[in-house]
Amino acid sequence: MDRIKELMKKYRELITYVFWGGMTTVVNYIVYFACTKLLGIEYLISNVIAWVVAVIFAFWVNKIYVFQSYGRDKKTMLHEFGTFVSARVLSGVLETGMMALFVSVMHFNDSVIKIIASVLVVIINYVLSKLVIFKKQKEEQISYQSGNETIIQPKYLKDNSAMSTILNMVIGIAIGAAITGFLVVPGVRRQVQNDAKAQVLDANNTVSSKNQEISTLQKQIDDLTSQITEVKDSAEGSENKISTYDQLLSAYASYSDGDIEAAGNALGNVNEEYLSDSAKSVYETINAQVNADYLESLYNQGYSDYNSQKFEESITSLQKVVDMEETYKDGYALYYLAQAYRKNNDLETAKTYYQKIVELYPGTERAANAQNYINIEE
């Protein structure tokens, strides 16, 4: 036990530095992780933020607990903090440069490189802190006689001019900026360029796919136009049949323009019974693309109108939803349609839809509410 205590005392500075260096690394990595994984900040910017937080933490624990620097006067503090920041700028830029080189250029895993760089920086910072920043003078203490008492107090660092401290900081920052320009900026620029290329490629693929769909539909529409002409010229061409084909063409035009709601409205007026096989193919293609978005748009509009007590408008939208898909939104479209009819004083129609809710969703709160409304009406 005595041997352990002796070793602890002999290597106290190194042990405490390793401990607080490890804690600084933990602080650095936690901040980096929070920025990249939780906040979604780009990894190089996250590294700079983590470095700033870690430097402030490291300065105080190194000064107080590791190297036990007693100087608290303004000039000593300014000197120590100035040289500490300058040294950490150099080591911080080295770390960021490693991240840029090994992640952006050589495509290593950023988390692994972050750990390796942090350990290397801890070693470098120990050497700089011990030999430069918190370097102890030959005489640790001074003593003098005051009456019958001997006064012993720490001997502070020699006075360092503010100009010298500022010069150290400027040199450190200048070197850091230069290294950043050579290592970090090209990596960031390359990353931005790669992201831009990826976005352009995705956009081109989307446009190409969309154009291919429209091209295929256009061929079918050309055939459909010919059929409409034949229907109009034929004695069999009834008014309803012509109207159905016109609505299908309108749906195609709206779909091509990206107007999903207009396309959905037009498709709702199409009667499949009047369509030829090729016309049905066009209808099914457009309907598959439009149906989900159209239903969502109609439901949201109907629900919004219901909450705004615009019950007639709500009925118009929700009725279309229920006609297209009775169980949409797990029956909520049906439920709010019944509610809208009831609040619009159309109790008979409301009762019809309440009964469907009871039949389709037994045991649910919606069914229980619907049954209560039915009982009230009876």
Domain boundaries, the chain: 2-138+160-189, 205-377
* Residues facing 154 on adjacent strands: 141
- State how far the Cα of 261 lies from the Cα of 293, in Å rounded to an integer: 8
Provide the b/e sequence for 325-343 (b: ≥16 CB within 10 Å).
eeebeebbbbbbbbbbbbe
205-377: CATH number: 1.25.40.10
The whole-model pTM stands at 0.35
DSSP code per residue over 60-71:
HHIIIIIS----
- How many CA within 13 A on the CB side of residue 240? 5
Residue 206, token pair as written in the block: 């989307």
- DSSP H helices in 180-276: 185-233, 239-256, 260-268
pLDDT of residue 159: 43
- State how far the Cα of 337 lies from the Cα of 332, in Å rounded to an integer: 8
* CA dihedral sign of residues 157, 161, 164, 166: positive
pLDDT of residue 41: 82
**From first to last of its 378 residues, what are the pLDDT tens digits of the chain?**
667 776 666 677 777 777 877 788 888 889 888 888 888 887 778 888 887 888 788 777 877 777 666 666 677 777 777 777 787 777 778 887 888 888 877 778 888 888 888 788 778 777 777 776 666 655 445 555 555 555 555 554 444 444 454 555 455 555 555 545 554 555 555 655 666 666 666 666 665 666 666 667 677 666 767 766 665 555 444 677 778 778 878 877 887 777 777 877 887 788 877 777 777 877 777 777 777 777 888 899 999 999 999 999 999 999 988 988 889 888 999 999 999 999 999 999 999 999 999 999 998 888 998 998 888 876
